[in-house]
Amino acid sequence: MTQARSQTASRPRKSHLPADVAAVDAIDRALKIGEAARLLGVEPYVLRFWETQFPFLRPKHTRSKHRFYEHKDLETLMLVKRLLHTEGYTIAGAKKHIRERGLDRLLDESAAAGKTAAADEKESGPGTVNEELAPAAEAPAGSSVTLEPSVQRRLAEIREDLRSLHRMLANSARA
């Protein structure tokens, strides 16, 4: 009996969900937390933590308190993941960004960007580099390199964090 359990436990569970996050539009039913987490590429505890940090993340619950994520919830989770994992925002920075720009506006922009990216890939084919997205590292030495807005925002957040730490250290040295 122990051997049977270990065999089933070691087998990876096959998911009927698409592996590509962009395929979320194809999902027409509510997903359990584990399914939503696999689709997004994070662990279920991450989704539960995000719910505590972002008040607009409120999935529906069954009577037995199981979470179910609908299409709109998945789009919002993808936005949060993009801000935190891709664009490098801190949780506080992501909250501020969403508060300033508006959740609905950001979701609309994400949907439009997703459609544009899919069309660009279809046009150029997978594996080709889009000229607009080519790294700026190829600029000659001594020339000014323009950073992407997400990198600029992240650097500004780091600068502000460093200034705050400096003020704290200066105040504690005086005391």
Q: What is the mean pLDDT of residues 55-84?
A: 92
Confidence of residue 43 (pLDDT cuts 50, 70, 90): very high
Check the CA dihedral 21-22-27-29 and report its sign: positive
C-alpha 109/C-alpha 64 separation (Å) is 35
Asked if 56 contacts 80 with a C-beta cutoff of 8 angstroms, the reply is no
Q: Where are the domains of the chain?
A: 16-121+149-174
**How are beta strands 60-61 and 31-32 bridged, if at all?**
unpaired
Select from 78, 76, 96, 95 the least CA-distant residue to 86.
Answer: 78
Confidence of residue 158 (pLDDT cuts 50, 70, 90): confident
pLDDT for position 142: 47
Listed range (7-16, 30-39, 80-89) with the worst mean pLDDT:
7-16
For the chain, the average pLDDT equals 75
Which residues are registered as beta bridge partners of 61? Answer: 67
pLDDT digit string, tens, across residues 84-118: 998 999 999 999 999 999 999 998 888 777 665 55
Q: What is the mean pLDDT of residues 63-77?
A: 92
The H or E element spanning position 60 is strand 60-61
**CATH assignment, 16-121+149-174:** 1.10.1660.10
| pLDDT winner (highest mean) among 11-20, 44-53, 110-119 | 44-53
pLDDT for position 144: 54
pLDDT for position 74: 92
Confidence of residue 64 (pLDDT cuts 50, 70, 90): very high
Q: Is the pLDDT of residue 137 over 80?
A: no
C-alpha 89/C-alpha 81 separation (Å) is 10
Considering only residues 48 and 11, tell me which one the structure prediction assigns the higher pLDDT.
48
Q: What is the CA radius of gyration of the chain?
A: 21
Confidence of residue 152 (pLDDT cuts 50, 70, 90): confident
